[in-house]
Amino acid sequence: MAGAQRTDPGTVPHGWPTIFLPRVIRSLVSAQLRRWMGNITDQGPCNEYLVDQLLPPLSAPVIPVPCSRFPSPPFPDTMLDHLRPVAFTVLLLCGLVATAQGRREKRVGPAAYSPGGPCDTSAWKLVFHDEFTGNTLDRSKWVTYFTYSADGSDQCPGCRVMGTSNTIFRDDLVQVRDGMLLLGVRTSAEEWYGQRKDHAGSMVHSIGEAHFNHGRFEVRCRIPKGAGLWPAFWGFGGETEIDVFEFCGEKPNWMKGSLHRWGQRKFSHTGKHKANDLSQDFHVYAVEWDADETRWYLDGELVHQRGRYVDGRGRPLPACDRAPGELATAPYFPRSTDGINLVLDLAVSEPGGYCKAPKAPIIWPGETRFEVDYVRVYQRRPEQHLRDHCGERRRLLPADASATPPRTGDTRIYILGGPEDVIVWRASGGLEIIERNGNSVTLKVKRGAKGTQWLRSEITSDPCHSGVLAPLLEVAVRP
């Protein structure tokens, strides 16, 4: 078998199979055995030999040292034969306990008091956005490197390099054109602080007031396709990392979203969603980070969620309508005291890294790029350093305010207040749009419709009247 370790059975202590143990588990058990031996004999050097005889080797066999070199051996060989099964049982139990405990710690964190009650469903407010109009990057909002240096410049080894990527981030591959942020990639020998890479990539990192504690983080973009390409939209600050998405270019139908906590130990959770080839068109990706839950969306559809609180097995508890009390927390859940900055980047993975990159560098087609239409951030209650960019918003109302709720077959006219604009109208399944006229629309209630239906008006060019802020009107249908 490739990679197997060759051993000489003659050097393995008598009575042990040829197995090798993790260093931590072996050291814990050997320390306990030494304590037990010390209660029986004070012959320390001989005890060391006996421990080696009772435990299997680490990564290389232990060569026996004759205990007879010491006066009056404390144990005959027959007693060693009896003790080995005991030691082996203790070893297995310790290993199983340590493994189970380690796995549990990855899923179940410290307890915290939960006030319970309903979830916060108050309206989102736009607190940051970039529609990437014009021909240059807005340097009051973004830089093109990681701000890890003491002065916020790019002068540090990690400022233009990321993890297991085979990439150094370069400014000339960041462009703003035709209402888009374009993040490019190329194959070229690159070096940064002595680190040699085979590709140049591109990124933007938010600065200034663009750091956020809780909120909805949304991007409309088209990802590139190609083995090893690694486009991502994520946020990082303090110990908290939230990945809205990461893609591997060889699998553009698999969206991955993750939570990471970077403390003394790293805790992580990743959710995956399989879709069609998402590199073929633009899509809207979003994460909503609330106090007790994080949710991932693709084109408005909830595709994954993870709560702050978990049960004893690490399974997420409902985010809403819980009774108050002490509950275990998920160790990977975003830390509420951390504010995150946003990052959009296009890198190329190492061949054995996050994605399956080619073993040898290849030339990427000139149109290979990560295309970003907009980035928008919303909060339910804007932080002190942020503000609601939209203020008063246009309202969607019935043309006849005195009209009764419609029945099956009835028609009604609805109007979006404010100046005329290009409006995209959408309605629920029980309503049919039969006429559009500027800022007004005529609806007909379909046969069999009942309950509450809805009408939505969206001005895609206006961030205050599109997406989650698009005016919405509920239409009650009479039986």
Under a CB-based contact definition with an 8 Å cutoff, are residues 361 and 198 in contact? yes
**Alpha carbons 95 and 29: distance in angstroms, whole number:** 9
Q: What is the pLDDT of residue 454?
A: 95
Q: What is the pLDDT of residue 358?
A: 86
Q: What is the pLDDT of residue 81?
A: 58
Q: What is the pLDDT of residue 17?
A: 41
Q: Helix, strand, or coil here: 297?
A: strand
Which of 152, 191, 156, 130 shows the shortest CA–CA distance to 344? Answer: 130
**Single pTM value for the model:** 0.77
Per-residue pLDDT of the chain (479 residues; tens, 9 = 90+): 443 333 333 333 334 343 444 555 556 556 665 555 554 444 444 445 555 555 555 444 444 444 444 444 444 555 555 555 655 555 555 444 444 445 656 778 888 898 888 889 999 999 999 999 989 999 999 999 999 999 999 999 999 999 889 999 999 999 999 999 999 999 999 999 999 999 999 999 999 999 999 999 999 999 999 999 999 999 999 999 999 999 999 999 999 999 999 988 899 999 999 999 999 999 999 999 999 999 999 999 999 999 999 998 889 898 888 889 999 999 999 998 999 999 999 999 999 899 999 888 888 888 899 999 999 999 999 999 999 999 888 999 999 999 999 999 999 999 999 888 889 999 999 999 999 998 999 999 999 998 999 999 999 889 999 999 999 999 999 98
| Angle at CA of residue 185, ends 182 and 189, nearest 5° | 150
Strands 174-177 and 431-437: unpaired
Q: What is the pLDDT of residue 24?
A: 52
Under a CB-based contact definition with an 8 Å cutoff, are residues 259 and 332 in contact? yes
Q: What is the pLDDT of residue 96?
A: 47
Q: What is the pLDDT of residue 383?
A: 97
Q: What is the pLDDT of residue 263?
A: 86
**Alpha carbons 13 and 52: distance in angstroms, whole number:** 8
The domains located in the chain, with CATH, are: 9-107 (no CATH), 118-379 (2.60.120.200), 396-477 (2.60.40)
Q: What is the pLDDT of residue 419?
A: 84
Which of 185, 191, 300, 275 shows the shortest CA–CA distance to 231? Answer: 185
User: How much helix, strand and coil, in percent to the nearest 5, is found in the chain?
Assistant: 15, 40, 45
- Report the b/e string of 35-74 with b at 16+ CB within 10 A: eebeeeeebeebbebbbbbbbbbeeebbeeeebeebeebe
